[in-house]
Structure 1
Amino acid sequence: MTDTVVLAAVLGVAGGAGLVILLLLARRLGRGGADLGSDAEQAAHRALHEAGLAAVHLRGGLGADDVGRAARHLRTLLGSAAVALVQDGRVVAADGPVDEAAARRVAARVVETGRRQVLRAGEAAGAGGADAGGGGAGGPGAGDAAAAPIVVDGALAGVLVAFAAPVRAALVRAVAEVADWCAAQLALGELDASRTALAEAELRALRAQISPHFIYNALTAIASFITTDPARARELVLEFADFTRYSFRRQGEFTTLAEELRSIHSYLELERSRFGDRLAVTLRIAPETLSTVIPFLSVQPIVENAVRHGLEPGERGGGIRIEARDDATHTEITVEDDGVGMDPEQLRALLNTDADGAHVGIRNVDTRLRQLYGPGGGLVVETNTGAGTLVRMRIPKSQPQHALDTAGAGA
């Protein structure tokens, strides 16, 4: 059995499952290296390995700068003389002696029919004109060309073209399977981009929520001290500067608990200037939790929610208790207030609606935590009318994929 036939079989079995199945199979085969005795097993292992390498460079889309590296791995994957990726009538990536004119011609047929196509070397050479095969901008012709559409979400994203002398049926099937696999990687890349855009939009929403209400109150409080207590006014201006610098920073989606607590300190100092003795704050922070990597603006909005919706509506003010404790594999963070609380059913409705309004901060944090840590990673809220509110989050202590995001913390 040839490598191309094995490749078609492997990708055919994988179907549309994408990279996850490919990598799982590759890992399984890799652990049993001593068992890869037959030619078929070794060919399958090589195909899975090349697929994993190509996937990295496809996630950015066919217009990405490194898509050419994907073409190199796709060529090895198919075992063809050359490979080209064509988008909008233009060769965006190529590897090997690609006849770009022939690649464009067969890609145009794919676009017209929506199906895989084969262009024979003699057919291209006899066509004449600028699009004639057997040469062109890409170098000397590499024989026949087989092409298949790369379709993402029902739209044609590009065309995969493979050259061989001659193109056989097994390669045509393999090109179609690999094109489908490429489509899956492009779709996953779009999903990653959408998640990133959503995370950025959610942070903008949190900043927008913080700015109007709090900034007005903070500036009003600072103004009230300018003539009566200038030293206190200067202190509050510095706290306000620290708070806004942190809240509106641009670096990364993650920070450390220590950095977030510094910002919370500035926020609470500004609120104390309004509440006076009516606001009591208690902190119980285990030192080993301070380095925990947490989503940026995840604790601060909960503290603001406690002040704004828990304590501010009541004339007597109240207290806020912030705790962080080491719980084996997680850091558990709680924010509790003894304010007015709210009806649990009303809270449930607020957490399950996308409408703007009160408590948008706590809903935003809950959504982000679930996206990052799974359905069970969201906030746990305990509340009732007149009984205050307790909000709990559990953050995994080990997050190597997020560690670098803390480089800009506090900037």
Structure 2
Amino acid sequence: MNDKYIPNFNIHEAVHETLPYMMEMREYFHAHPELSEKEFDTCKTIFQELSLMNIEDVRIIAGTGVTGLIRGELPGPVLLLRADIDALPLTEKYDCPYASLVDGVMHACGHDGHAANLLGVAKILSQHKDCLRGTIRLAFQPAEEGNGGAARMIDAGIMENPHVDYALGLHVAGSLPKGYVGIGRGEISASCDDFTITLHGKGGHGSQPSFCISPIQMGIDIIQSIQNFVYNCHADGDGVVLTFGQFQAGHNPNVIPDTAELKGTLRTYDEAKRHHILEAMKAILRNVTSTYGGTFDLNVVPFSPVCVNDDGVTNKVVRILQDHCTRLVDLVPLKRGSGSEDFAYFSAAVPSSFYYVGVYSDVPVIGHSPDFHWDSNALKYMCETMLSIVYYFESY
């Protein structure tokens, strides 16, 4: 660290002063949730807020995303800060003054807090550009929940003009109490590929199966064959998970249908294994369906690659948090989970780090649940840690 570099303002005090604004924004977003690719009011609100801060290059990107640029007055790298903004198709059960006003939609993953935090960070950065080393690219990302928002932002050019050198993101952690930050190196979340297999056979009467090609029987064999392949080839603790979650076929007990549909998800921590398993699935589908005399269609929807925390960037982040935030937060090692996070597209593009901020007060809260709830004052942990990383990043 360059000991001579100290921001010319008190980060802790700035966060304390900005906390009411962030809490108001979080609770507004929470009460007005919007699904992926439909974040129209959220997008408009963020655009207006950034414009009021006189931030440069404020514009809509990737459909309903928003970006902006904050140029520091001191030389340094370009650092992208990402916050996802979409909600989930759930009916909120927790009763609070800012509960969802939209039937069947709620912020059950903390994206309302991510957006509010980044607005607070942007507000403070815009007021203290004189001691900011480098440039900050803001990325308010739409469609994180399975609709490719991060990849679309990259395709739309967010990593250029100016070229982004590093990326940083955070996520609320319902499994950690307030005042704790979880961070790890290497693979921190799994890749995710959702797939649909449509099997085409030949329907007929249930009393004459020999005159039919049963897509149900093909489906049973396919599930067993794929699961056996994954177990026998990858049962070495490497974190591969392949789950079938849906099998739909037929409407009557005495009629063999023409088609069947299987849906599932594949999670891995290794890109080579990910592609190997997907190719093996195709081979199994060809072999089984040709044996029966049927055919298949396979549609794979990639949600994200493996999310990887760069060792160098993460070492910087850890040292900054240890040196400047330990009176506020305790750092704990992050164990990788089989969940997925499409920040992975940013981490695949540039050296990056992604960490988790605890939000629960009494008992852990479960994300993607209609009971998911956390106190808005947890935003202070998000904002102060992110600001500290930004302002000291070039000094470590």
Same structural fold, with TM-score higher than 0.5 when normalized by the shorter chain: no
Q: TM-score category by the smaller chain?
A: under 0.3
Larger Rg: 1
Q: Which has the higher contact order (CA 8 A, sep 6+)?
A: 2
The answer to which structure has the higher strand fraction is: 2
The answer to which structure has the higher helix fraction is: 1
